[in-house]
Amino acid sequence: MDIDLPYLLFWAVAVSGLIIITDILFLKSRREKAAVIGLVAEERTSKNEKTSVAQPKLVEYAYSFFPVLLLVFVLRGFVAEPYQIPSESMVPTLEVGDFILVSKYAYGLRMPVLGTKLLDVDQPKRGEMMVFVPPHDPRYFIKRVIGVPGDRIRYASKSLFVNGKRLSYQFVKEFRDPRFGIKVMEYEELLGVVPHLVHKSPGYEPTQEWIVGEGEYLMMGDNRDRSEDSRSWGMASEENIVGKAVAIWLHKDPGWNLPNFSRNKWFEYEESS
């Protein structure tokens, strides 16, 4: 996620569009006049015959790629964009190598690159997975929305309390992480209306408490002991929201492995009617 593809697409569209406008306004007529003069001098054309004008390669490429670049830019900027999960902060919900689809309009239409909101659609809700830019890093992060504006959130003994009420936790299983040799406990956590799985490890963590301000969101990873989130860098800002994670559409294990569709699924945030 280090490459700012929307930024690159914006400039690719802008440059190719500028080349096309310049050609239409200034260059095309000059080429046509020069071609007519040359053909008349060589007596290879008649008055009623249309002149064929060869475009410079740069102009030809601009005409060819501009529609495609513009379409991709609009789709990625206003509709949906794919991202690959680079870390274990959202395990077990999201694995390293998952490709997720992010709805760019779920929380409102925004100008690509600039991020200016053009239209309100909906607000992030507790339990949803959101892609955003954190206050300390220009890269995109994905975490789960824990607190929305006005919430009082407390994290004590590795349990979440929302507005004074402890979340419901249902034990699922216990296992040992072979990479680190530590014990991991998996729980089903109910935040909102649809439960999700979280991982916790034994050990002390200081109690923290927050009051979520207007235009702010408290974010945490599902892999609670291996996630850099609001517990360390603070709140996510409404101005830096990218979109809502809606599905896993592809998975590729690290290394020389072929992509597969074994983990494809839509994320559920609301109870089925």
Q: Tell me the catalytic residues.
A: 89, 143
CA distances from 145 to 57, 181, 271 (A): 49, 29, 17
Helix axes 57-74, 5-22, angle to 10 degrees: 140
In sequence order, the 6+-apart residues with CB closer than 8 A to the CB of 60 are none
- Closest Cα partner for 166 from 178, 175, 154, 176? 154
Bond preceding residue 92 cis, omega within 30 of 0:
yes
CA distances from 148 to 120, 137, 141, 198, 218 (A): 17, 21, 17, 20, 7
Tokens for 206? 């200081």
From the CA atom positions of the chain, what is the Rg in Å?
Answer: 26
Tokens for 98? 């998952």
